[in-house]
Structure 1
Amino acid sequence: MADDLTARFDLLADTSAAGQARRLVSNLLAAWNRAEDADVARLLISEVVTNAVRFAGRLTALQLALVAHPDRIRFFVGDGSPLHPVLRTVHPSDESGRGIHLVATLASAWGVVHPPAEEGHGNQEGHGKQVWFELCTGGPTVSRTGVPASQEA
């Protein structure tokens, strides 16, 4: 769709990655006039990036991508690890393990995908994964014709 906006960034997989990702997301959402999504987006991107650094390790770079549609924004964090985040039971005394619960609770949707294999490497999946989540924007979307998108033929 012509109205979609896309941005991609590479981040070092270190302790500064979550803060850098929060700043990039804040600045980008402000530039895209989507500041109403910034608070939740910063929290969730911080959780996903922190998990990527913790479990993928510092041997890989992280990829951050955002795709803004008129009615939602999808955020992707790619890393080199095949390990998927797990929504596990968390006890009050646990010091970690709540990040994916926040994502599952606050995001409209979330999941994990494997990037396609690089050209010339057969049909095997690429290395690593992308954890994604989506935030829907409030209210009905209106097309360029001024008609709510749900009523267009």
Structure 2
Amino acid sequence: MTTYPAEPEHDALREGAIPVAERGNGAAHGGWWMPGANDFAACALSGSACTVAEARQFTRTTLQGWRMCPGLADDAVLVVSELVTNALRYGAGETRRTLNYASPEPFCQAWLALTRQEHSVLCAVSDAGATAPVLRDRDELAESGRGLHLVELLSDAWGWTPPDRAGKTVWATVSARG
């Protein structure tokens, strides 16, 4: 089930973030980490080659800490992987071109937020892109373009906030199956 658009959340994800070095535990999942109640975690994502892997590890570690079932965690990790890949490919890259950054890799390309709900997790990725995601027609021979189909398959609902000058948030709710 696809649901869109939703209320803007991306500005709330940026408030109160602290650098990893100030956290005191030495774990490096992205450059920034947002503390909160036991049911919320967020991190900043750079545009480096290992960003998607870091997002998957952050998701898996967070969901294990929340004692979410392994099947839900596996699905959430795949959903996050696709959402982050799209944010870096289409959202953050668009901003980099628009702002004409001298550096090929600005520090924060996107934000990943996870919110634990009773038997599900809400995965949200915010980027500065101004275009809404597009669910392409299925093409079994295409080399790309299947990510949102995977998100649709693995999530209960997914959607995005209306893009504005600050960007957009693409989200998906993943539940335990069975």
The bucket for the TM-score relative to the shorter chain is 0.7 to 0.9
Aligned pair in 2 of structure 1 residues 65, 5: CA closer, same or farther (>3 Å)? Answer: same
**How far 1:4 moved relative to its partner?**
6.6
| Secondary structure, aligned partner of 2:144 | coil
Say how many residue pairs are matched.
128
**How far 1:45 moved relative to its partner?**
0.6
| Aligned residues with identical type, % of pairs | 35
Residue 107 (structure 1) aligns with: 155
**5+ residue gaps, structure 1:** 116-124, 140-153
| Secondary structure, aligned partner of 2:59 | helix
Residue 149 (structure 1) aligns with: none
The CA distance in 2 between the partners of 1:128 and 1:62, in whole Å, is 10
Aligned pair in 2 of structure 1 residues 73, 32: CA closer, same or farther (>3 Å)? Answer: same
Quick check: 1:76 aligned with 2:127? no
**How far 1:88 moved relative to its partner?**
1.2
**How far 1:126 moved relative to its partner?**
4.8
Quick check: 1:54 aligned with 2:89? yes
| Secondary structure, aligned partner of 2:58 | helix
The CA distance in 1 between the partners of 2:49 and 2:114, in whole Å, is 21
Q: What is the TM-score when the length of structure 2 is the normalising length? A: 0.66
Structure scoring higher RCO (CA < 8 A, sep ≥ 6) equals 2
Kindly indicate whether the alpha-carbon contact (under 8 Å) linking 1:110 and 1:132 is maintained by their aligned counterparts in 2: yes
Residue 66 (structure 1) aligns with: 114
- The higher radius of gyration belongs to 1
The residue identity in structure 2 corresponding to 1:21 is: A
Q: What is the TM-score when the length of structure 1 is the normalising length? A: 0.76
From 145, 154, 167, give the equivalent of 1:128.
Answer: 167
